[in-house]
Amino acid sequence: MKIASFNINGIRARLPVLLDWLEQAKPDVALLQELKSTDETFPRELIEALGYQVETHGQKSFNGVAIMSRLPLEDISRGLPGDDSDEQARYMEGTVIGDKSAVRVACLYLPNGNPAPGPKYDYKLAWMGRLEACASRLIATEEPALLAGDFNVIPQAEDCWDPAVWKEDALFLPQSREAFRRIESLGFSEAYSIRHPGMQEFTFWNYRAGAWNKDHGIRIDHFMLSPAASDLLLDCQIDTYVRGLGKPSDHVPIWVRLDG
């Protein structure tokens, strides 16, 4: 099964690009972030017309995540556990039933955290602590599971065009990278780096200052696979071309193919 993740930066503004990409890439499952839409204003009909079951966890103006699947999709849960006062729609889970195996998928939009230090960075680190608890719970099931989405973390220096520029940024600060490593320490594998060691590809280019034309990008969208899911990994690719389409998102899709 092919599972993709795409921070679309506004579902309504991005609908033409999304539909274009879906028809070319034909993922079985698409995990979307930054819907910037409530569940009520999410344009589900055109996506359902392509054969997808659409499950959303929206919020007005900001955040928002969705799971869309052409395979049976069950047991949806919405929201990141661990803080009942957190109103931001950044996390949901569902179980995809493949031909060979069921995969628990978590779609996440991890907080940016800038400016750091400050309350937004505190929220990011707290959020990552709660995510680690989810990761522990998922790995304990010993079933195939993955965490995917916009992590807003640059894992290592090779994952950005100029580490010096990002040195003080919340996406690259040591504490952010350490929190990312802690999830790996639980037993999760970051799919792209497993499949393409030493390669430099990006998933985000700022709209400003001609970043795309200069290839001033960063790699912040990731798939983290549990051991049981890693055993099924066949491929992981980044659909870079999507950044060059008309009216693009600032992120591009990344996907994995699992033998499931």
Binding region for DNA (CB under 7 A): 7, 9-14, 34, 36-38, 41, 60-62, 111-112, 114-115, 120, 150, 152, 160-162, 165-166, 171, 204, 206-209, 211, 216-218, 220, 247, 250
Scan for tokens 């698409």, then name that residue: 30
The residue (of 163 and 227) whose beta carbon lies closer to DNA is 163
Minimum distance, C-beta of residue 75 to DNA, in the bound complex (Å): 27
Shorter beta-carbon distance to DNA: residue 6 or 257:
6
Of residues 97 and 126, the one with the C-beta less far from DNA: 126
As measured in angstroms, the least distance from the Cβ of 175 to DNA is 16
| Closest distance to DNA from the beta carbon of 35 (Å) | 8
Q: Tokens 């993922």 correspond to what residue?
A: 27
Write down the least CB distance from residue 22 to DNA, Å.
Answer: 18
- Minimal distance, residue 60 CB to DNA, in Å: 5
User: With respect to DNA, which residue has the nearer C-beta, 167 or 196?
Assistant: 167
Strand ordering across the sheet containing 65-69: 53-57, 65-69, 29-33, 2-7, 254-258, 233-238
Taking CA atoms, 22 is separated from 4, 55, 142, in Å, by 10, 16, 31
Min CB(99)–DNA separation in Å? 34
Which residue, 23 or 247, has its beta carbon nearer to DNA?
Answer: 247
**Which residue's CB is nearer to DNA, number 171 or number 179?**
171
User: Do 256 and 239 form a contact (C-beta atoms < 8 A)?
Assistant: no
Are 224 and 166 in contact, with CB atoms under 8 Å apart? no
